[in-house]
């Protein structure tokens, strides 16, 4: 019986440690987004929409909503601002007028490329602080953790 209690204590400490690490990671990423994206004049959500559309050329509002895990009404409000600022355009599909696709304007592409470069520079800086030869190991561990978080999230919804 003592081993079982000892194992349970270790397990509970591990749960607490993972929770704290994840919370710290989320907070640091949020701070990065606020500080680095804000200098370009965008919110985090606006930035992510611009980058997703840049990556995919065009996306429907439903696709953006699914990728960002946000309600369609929220995406629509954010996109209204991006359309107003002439960063993206919305078009109804000719074969189904109910579906609206978004694509970047030339100005939107320029801004998205700037955001992409800022984010890339940030991650280059992060990688520079990893011990030499351990980048792949860290990537593998983060992928495992991300997969577990995604699976846990889907299960609890």
* Averaged confidence pLDDT in the chain: 90
Predicted TM-score of the model (pTM): 0.79
Q: Are 42 and 50 in contact (CB under 8 A)?
A: yes
Q: Among 23-32, 106-115, 117-126, which range has the highest average pLDDT?
A: 106-115
pLDDT tens-place string over residues 73-106 = 999 999 999 999 999 999 987 788 788 899 999 9
Q: Nearest Cα to 103, choosing from 87, 118, 120, 89?
A: 89
Over residues 61-74, mean pLDDT: 93
């Amino acid at each position: 019986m003592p081993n079982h209690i000892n194992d349970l204590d270790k397990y509970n400490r591990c749960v607490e440690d993972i929770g704290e690490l994840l919370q710290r990671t989320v907070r640091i990423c949020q701070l990065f987004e606020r500080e680095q994206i804000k200098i370009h004049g965008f919110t985090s959500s606006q930035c992510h929409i611009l980058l997703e559309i840049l990556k995919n050329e065009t996306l429907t509002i439903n696709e953006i909503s699914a990728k960002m895990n946000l309600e369609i009404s929220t995406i629509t409000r954010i996109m209204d601002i991006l359309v107003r600022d002439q960063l993206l355009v919305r078009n109804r599909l000719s074969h189904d007028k109910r579906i609206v696709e978004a694509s970047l304007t030339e100005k939107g592409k320029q801004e998205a490329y700037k955001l992409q470069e800022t984010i890339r520079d940030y991650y280059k800086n992060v990688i520079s602080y990893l011990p030499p030869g351990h980048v792949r190991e860290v990537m593998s561990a983060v992928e495992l953790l991300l997969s577990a978080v995604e699976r846990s999230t889907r299960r609890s919804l």
